[in-house]
Amino acid sequence: MGTRERWQDKITEDLEKLNIRNWRRETLDKDKWRATINRLVHSNDPSSNISEVVQQYKQKADKRRAASNVPLPPKVTEVLIKQGLKNTDGAYTCPNSKCTRRTFRAQGIIRHVKACAPEWCKKHKIPTN
C-alpha cells in the first residue's frame, strides 16, 4: 500500500503537468489565471436536444433490462398505492403499524419503509439494500 498524497501534493502535480510556473503571481490577475488554467481544457457544448438524448438513454436502458429477462422488483410507492396507503394530499403512510412517524412525502417514504418495515419489503419482494 503506497503512501497517501496530500491535497497540496496533488495540486503541485497538476501544476507541473500543465507546465504552470509562478502560479502565485498569475492568480493575482483573475483573467490571466482563468486563461492559464483553461488553456488545455476542452469542453463540448451541451446538446440542444437534451430531452431527446435523455429519452434515448432511457430507451436503451429499458431494452437492456428487457433483454436480461430479469424482472424488476416492484417500486415501494407502487405497492403502497395498490394497498391504499397514499392519501389524497399525496402523502404516503408507513405500512409498519408500530411506526411513530406515520406519513411521508414521496421523497422520504422509500428509505423509511426499507428501514422501518423490512418484513413488509420481504413480503412484497422489495430489496432493502
Residues 6 or more apart whose Cβ sits within 8 Å of residue 69: none
Rounded Cα gap, residues 92 and 43, in angstroms: 43
Model confidence pTM above 0.85 = no
The confidence score (pLDDT) of residue 38 equals 82
Q: What is the pLDDT of residues 29-58, one digit of tens each?
A: 999 888 888 877 777 777 788 889 899 999
Higher pLDDT, 48 or 117: 117
Q: What is the pLDDT of residues 72-116, one digit of tens each?
A: 788 899 999 999 989 888 899 999 888 888 888 888 888 999 999
Please, is 117 exposed, middle or buried when counting C-beta atoms within 10 Å of its C-beta (0-12, 13-18, 19+)? buried
Asked if 92 and 85 count as a contact pair (C-beta separation under 8 A), the reply is yes
Rounded Cα gap, residues 93 and 33, in angstroms: 54
